[in-house]
Structure 1
Amino acid sequence: MKNIKRFRILVMGRANAGKTTILQRVCNSTEKPEIFDGEGNKIDGAVVQGTSTRGYHNIENELMFKSNPGFVFHDSCGFEAGAAEEFDQMKDFVIDRAATVRVNERIHVIWFCIPMTENCRTVTAAEQKFFNQCDTGHVPVIVLLTKADALSLDAFQELEDEGWEIEGAQEKIVEKERELLEKWLAHIKHELGRCKFPPKGYVSLQRMDQESADCSSLMQCTANILNEEGLQRLLISTQQSSIALCVQYAVHQ
């Protein structure tokens, strides 16, 4: 474990799930990540952006932030249920990087993003295919309910339908938003829990577009599900978003 220098994460999910923003918050950055190919050569971000808009994406590329080079991210673009080639490429990558003898190239956790902006289709055939067919081995998967604050509009509309006077009812809106989040989380847990390879954890994330956003719950969940103490220690020492997590880990040592 001493030979592992960087904590490596595969981030998955549909387009516009807020993945890059989450990585920025984790790394305390407002900049776009630097991108490197599998050989360590830096890639022009404009070239990557152009190819991504045309449907091409290389999961082998490494994303890193200058503010915290201890994290290395791989981004798997969302795949539709019928996109067999993209799914197979992702699956091959996971199998290879979960068990490679090159310890510094192993992935340590997978963050699977499901945006709450599309809560009418939280678990599609694509999610079911992944959790039924992709055995990630010892690499745990955490489902991230992203953009959970989008539920505030649903909460607003439901309260209006119930006859509430919205003006001055902010507390009621927050309560309803929390209720909706719990409902959708329970639904997602139920659907994915029936799959062959269910997630190991779930985290909801709100207002990640704000620079002051708190992602300590994501770090806490990730640390808790890691099955090796050395990886926990690596994550704790690398992350910068939660001093409390550092203190908590130190107390339990």
Structure 2
Amino acid sequence: MKNIERFRILVMGRANAGKTTVLQRVCNSTEKPEIFDGKGNKVWSYRVQIHIDAECSQRGYHNIENELMFQSNPGFVFHDSCGFEAGATKQFDQMKNFVVDHAAAKSVKERIHAIWFCIPMTDYHRTVTAAEQKFFNECDTGHGKDTSTTDMIAFPVIVLLTKVDALYLPALRGLLDQGVAIAEAKERAAEVQGELLERWLDHIKHELGKCHFPPKGYVPLQKMHQESADYSALMQCTADVLNEEGLQRLFISTQQSNIVLCVQYAVQK
């Protein structure tokens, strides 16, 4: 833990997938992250970075090496991968090279420890596109491999289903289309929303499960725009899939907010 110091996560997903909001909840912050280059120098302001992210597909520029950190929890270091669509070869290659380089980095501090891959439910009709399939078919993060004889360190990929709240409206519309009265439809919409989520989650698991390097876990997230949002499932899943006890301990101590998780692992270990 002394050699690693900070837990490093690559956050992936399409534009407007709610990535920053998730990171704010995890770090218990309402502030925007500070952005540093690999040498610790503060670079772009967050607003400038957002502008770059919005245009990176057109301009072909996005520095995935930049580190995003929150003052409320400097133990976490995040890297933001520009969302890529199928056919965006340059962006995909940049991301893939970053993953390989940071999986084989000689310094333990520079290695990626986990990937959070965000799929927004605002695009529930296209949850698994060619871009997702390309990543999980071509990016081997040590999944299922014996890495003891290689320089590459295995790290888990977890799929985050973000903006689950977006399923409420199609659930409500579906009930209204069935002729259900508006008052009853509002009462039943949350239940139907849950059924829709289960259906789409099963679909995503089925599609990504057919890929060469499927994710290690899946976590639905909702109401992340609220400061009181519950993200304990994400913390639990990430801790569970880490394959090295030292990293597990570092993650659990870094996440700070989930006392139950700290107690659970203290008893287990």
The alignment yields a C-alpha RMSD, in angstroms, of 1.2
- Structure 1 residue 71 corresponds to structure 2 residue 47: no
- Structure 1 residue 220 corresponds to structure 2 residue 236: yes
Could you list the structure 1 runs, at least 4 aligned residues long, displaced by more than 6 angstroms after superposition: none
Deviations 1:24-44 (A, max 9, x none): 000000000000011110013
Per the TM alignment, residue 170 of structure 1 is displaced from its structure 2 partner at its CA by 4.1
8 Å Cα contact 1:12/1:111 also seen in 2: yes
* Percent of pairs with identical residues: 73
Structure 1 spans left out of the alignment, 5+ residues: none
- Structure 1 residue 211 corresponds to structure 2 residue 221: no
Question: Residue 76 of structure 1 aligns to which amino acid in structure 2?
Answer: S
In the other structure, the counterpart of 2:39 is 39
Per the TM alignment, residue 171 of structure 1 is displaced from its structure 2 partner at its CA by 4.1
In the other structure, the counterpart of 2:49 is 48
Structure 2: distance between partners of 1:210 and 1:47? 25
Structure 1: distance between partners of 2:265 and 2:199? 32
Of the candidates 233, 240, 243, which is equivalent to residue 256 of structure 2?
240
8 Å Cα contact 2:172/2:186 also seen in 1: no
Structure 2 spans left out of the alignment, 5+ residues: 143-153
TM-score (norm 2): 0.91
Number of residues of Structure 1 aligned to a counterpart in Structure 2:
253
Structure 2: distance between partners of 1:17 and 1:47? 18
Of the candidates 174, 184, 188, which is equivalent to residue 204 of structure 2?
188
Structure 2: distance between partners of 1:101 and 1:109? 17
Structure 2: distance between partners of 1:154 and 1:105? 43
- Structure 1 residue 131 corresponds to structure 2 residue 136: yes
Question: Residue 235 of structure 1 aligns to which amino acid in structure 2?
Answer: F
Structure 1: distance between partners of 2:98 and 2:176? 47
Deviations 1:77-100 (A, max 9, x none): 110110101101100100111121
Structure 1: distance between partners of 2:182 and 2:263? 42
- Structure 1 residue 164 corresponds to structure 2 residue 165: no
TM-score (norm 1): 0.97
Deviations 1:131-168 (A, max 9, x none): 00111121110000000011000110111122212315
